[in-house]
Structure 1
Amino acid sequence: MRKRFLGGLALTCIAIVLAVFGLALRADTELEKLVSSQFNEQQLGLTRQIAKDIQTNFQLLEQGLQLLIERRPALDQAGLDHYLSFFEEWGVLGIGLATPDKSALEAGNMLFSPREDVPASELSDSISRDAARLSTDRDPNQAVLGAPLALASGPFAGRFTAPLLLPSRPERPEVLFFLLDLQAVAARYAAGVRSGKSGYAWVIDHQGDFLFHVESDFRGQSSYTIRQARNPDISYERINQLVRTRLLRGEEGTDWYISGWHWDVSGEMRKLLAFSPVSLPPEPDGERRFWSVGLAAPDTEVYGLMQPVVARQWLMVGLFFLAVLFAAAAFLFIALRWSETLKREVDAKTEHLRRSEAELRRERDKVRQSMDQLLQTQEKLMLSERFAAIGEAAAHLSHEIKNPLLLMGGFAQQVLRTLSEDDPRVEKLEIIAGEAKRLEHLLVEVRDFTRPPRPSLVETEFNELVRQVADLFQDQAESQGVVSRLALDPKLPVCILDSDQIKQVLINLTKNALEAMPEGGELSISTARDADFVRIEIKDTGRGIPEEVMKKLFHPFFSTKAKGTGLGLAVSYKLVQDHGGEITAWSTPDQGARFTVRLPLNGPAQPQADQISPDRSPTTTPDPSTPTPPSGEPA
């Protein structure tokens, strides 16, 4: 007892500690998810602001172009130079005028206010093509963004530039434009942005090229290849897939990817990424492009934010563990001190309860047995009274009907003998004689049911008796297409019974089984020993017996046949009962019916003459699952 108690206490303590440990781990996971989510939302807010600022930059430049178009006639070269110096802060490298029918920009004519270090000759053809591509159905008051071009010479070599174009006047084929330094526009708003301690922003254009990155050698390079060139030992498939499928399609969201470095730290690491799209002015043909702003930070920053909370949490878990150990030790001391006294008291109470329970169980069994006997006696008394009246009435009617019936049949036979075969009255007299004979047979069955003879018990080979019955119906079975199968127990001992009465029972059951299979089937007859009883089962594969018929299956004078007397199964039940046996019926839908007869090997234990065929058979047992369709009808 003490060992079990100590083992239970130890298991309880372990379970509590494991439960607390599991809850702490779960809390760590939930905390990580919460902090990661908040961190990503913070990064997403920053990317949205950068994207919004870049879009606002383009809107301000578009408004500047519209203002320049309105004031251009009144501006001299000094005024244009002043405009250029003002817009240089917004990423403007030059102000120009282009016409679709000219292929070059001429200094002082087409590009009238350039910075001296901008190689205008490299831009002439590209800007002219953009001017020629302006869609005729576009909004004349909306600026368009030309094709980006990387400069090849000068201090801006390698920088991406693009013209922001706006038609000068509807009646004149001139296009006013700002020449933009796209990388300066991106850097103006993305440079210096930090997420957490070390997270940084980058901007890519519609082709996936870096317009801005904290690593200067990344700027102007393809984001698909520059990472791999920086650290070829790591796969960048995830970030490249994100760029292709989400960032360049103008989506906004958060995700993660694997990187090979972060500032001065090298090695494979997991980074959290937030990204937002930048909607650019349309192209000359009306198509829109997107840039994407990304903000990346290693996930270790999230863990750094969590570390103080996690440390305090595990400190509390440790203190709780010590408290559990202390409480368990105190409880163990107190429990061991009083365990013996409690054990004696519990044993005494248990013994008292055990004796009381045994006494109650005996009394309950006595009451149950008395109730069962009372119900059986009451049922037998009611059945005896009911069927005594039925038997008396049947015997009286049989006596009153039998003599006139014999006279009618005899007179009909006498008249038949006096008539020639071709007399038309012969057929009617034969009908009278046949019906009289049928009624006489019915009266004999009624007499047998009301006054059955006592069993004449003799030693009988039960299997041989079954074979005789099967042989009687062999021809009928073959004519109906029924396959008969016998499974007789060869070790069955000799039985003490009335062979004629039991043969009648088997004939009734076999006949009913064949009538249940008019279109063929399978008839199975088997015997077996069941303790001190012999058991025979007769099973057919007909349509089954309905539940409402099962309830009245052994009632006298109950039949579902057009010409049935309703005494076949009732007589069979009475004969089996007189032998001290029992007969049961079972049926299930579309699987036929099975009748089982159990007879004592050594004959009935006491005379059964006073037993009357019951009004209902408590041993008819339809399948409890579902009602059964008819397989046959009681005789």
Structure 2
Amino acid sequence: MEKIVFRRLLTGLGILIIGLLALAFILGILSLKRTQEIVSDDFQQQQLILAKATARQIEDGLAFLRRELRILAYSPAIQYLEDVAWANRMKVSFDELSKMGVVVIERIDFNGPAADKAFVLDANGPHLLRQDFATAPEVAWARDPANRGKIYQGPITLQLQGGHQAPSMIMATPVYEESVDESHPRATGNLDGVLLFRIDLSQFTGHYCANIRSGRTGYCWVMDDKGTFLYHPEKEFIGEDAFTARGQRDPAISFAAINEIQKTKMLKGEEGTATYISGWHRGVIRKMEKFVAYTNAHVGAACPYSHLSRADIDAHGRPGCKEIWPVAVVAPTDEVYGTIHSLYVRQFLIQGILIFALICAAATVIYYESRWSVELQAEVARTTADLARSQKQYKSVVENARDLIFLVDEAGAFLSANTAMARVFGIPAAGIVRKKVADLLSGEDAEAMLSWVQEAVHSRKSSEIKAAMRIKDRIFWFSTHVVPIFGEDGRSVEQVLVMARDITDRQQMENQMAQTEKLASLGTLAAGVAHEINNPVGVMLGFTELLLDKLPPDGKEHEMLKTIERQGLNAKRIVENLMTFARQPAKHEEFTDINRVIDNVLALVKNNLLTKKVDLDLRLAKGLPRVRGDAGEFQQVFLNLINNAAAAMPNGGKLTVITKTNPYNHMVEAILADTGTGIPKKYADRIFVPFFTTKKVGEGTGLGLAVSYAIVNKYGGAIRFESRAAEDGAEGATGTTFFVDLQPEYAAAQA
């Protein structure tokens, strides 16, 4: 009886065990399928995250290029196509933008209705291109006044490069003369041309896609809105039709699934995940199934959501932005299924070992799931770091600028500030944000700044202001550009960008030069007045003294003569005071590097010389001793001489500047020779006389050479000149050469 019970128990236990094993097997199969679904979905979501991150980077990259295009178009060197300066300014941008696919920066110059000249910078350097650009679509677009301040994105075109089709695109903006500098103090506001970037889209999108890895071997590819590959790891696919390129490579495989996804999902602006059949992957040639996660980058220059925050875009999407580039991240399903299959094969094998096998399988599952989770987290971290680096590139442009750059709203609240601004105010940049203008500037300065901001908001135009401001008990002079930043509607101004350049040193130098010339004028005037008044006053006093000696002291006439004498002496005292003012005060003994003085002056007048087409031949001797005198006063001397030389060459010419030691008198000699009109002999004796000038009325005071002569003589030097003037019948080249001899340091010490 007990055996029967035991057998039944054993049979029941066996049936139970078999049932449990069968149930475990069935549950294992179901679990396998469910695990495949979960892991596949999780993997797809991670791929979708990568695709979204890449799309956002592409959008940010295009936005960065648009900002750089606008900033470059605001540059005076680009607007006025200043010699040399335009190429240097383009090169500053090209060195950075070429990493993002910009292969050409081109400034087309409008000449009335014609557009036949372009200033180009590419990998071969700057050059001038002449052809008819009048029919170019970007030129016609730029001529429309309604497009002022906007960005043009041309259609994607294919160009043959290295045997493959390379997609490219033009990004352009109109160039108006609206910035000012020293050479162009007044902006006309006229349309002067168009500035454009030529972008290699395979390089641009590859900048963001090339390093994308989904799983072990997954990769990223990008199409345009017509289904042409802009980037693909298979180089021969770039520039090809995404609907036919795969079939041409392997006609034996049907690519209907991926073509349907591209047509009905990706090109319609949708995002999601799917699978499709392919015949290759990174060098592996066989039929395989692939996961694909797809989204799109909104690339239109006029997309109304281009100014939304990232949180708003993620929450509400971007309906209405039709210009898209689909972005996809793909990986073979074997990378996921293979891992899961190997896991469950081991699990099924050890299920026969009951609990031990189950424990081992559970431990294996936990181990591999943990490992997979860590890999996914690391991949997300790498993607996040790539995005942060991309954002940092743009931020570094602003943060490393020497100018003060900040954003404010209409109420005068700071929205952002760069490092230069934080350094000037002595406050961390984060501490400036949300403060008001009145919190950092004094009352009058705050009101002035707020008025500039409100003027930009209401007029919706950029402006440049030169003004002084008090910051931390110090007066700074700034050249300030105020630029309105438009909102999503493209009409209302939401923010104002302010870029302020510290010109304090330059302003102080200009003020000092103006004050020096003013004092020289007043001194000469005072000396002249004193001389002219002293003579008649002396005669009056002399005759008064003679009459006083002849008249009795108690008479009425004697009293009247004493009054005349008293008033005459009063006039004499006033004249003596004028003479005291006219005399230059004594200087402390100091010595100056004459080469450095000349370099500083040439730095000030270089643009003026370029504008007047004056070539400069600079030959400064090395190892010259310092000379006796004040650097500021010598700077005034050479500034006067160089400006006079430039004025004497209205049609251009050559200015030669030489420094050396004079072998005859052992003094340091500066020679300035021009090829101008020359000084006629009839004026040779008067050029150092105060108020004498050969210039037109209003163009000169006649004090420059007089003051220079006085300064040089005050420090024991000498100034002379030689000239050949056409007016005197001189044959050959005309021009004037000035020789300035200055005492060297050792000679001054011996004296």
What range is the shorter-chain TM-score in? 0.3 to 0.5
Taking structure 1 as the reference length, the TM-score comes to 0.45
Structure with higher RCO (Cα < 8 A, 6+ apart): 1
Name which one, 1 or 2, has greater alpha-carbon Rg.
Answer: 1
TM-score of the superposed pair, with normalisation by structure 2: 0.38
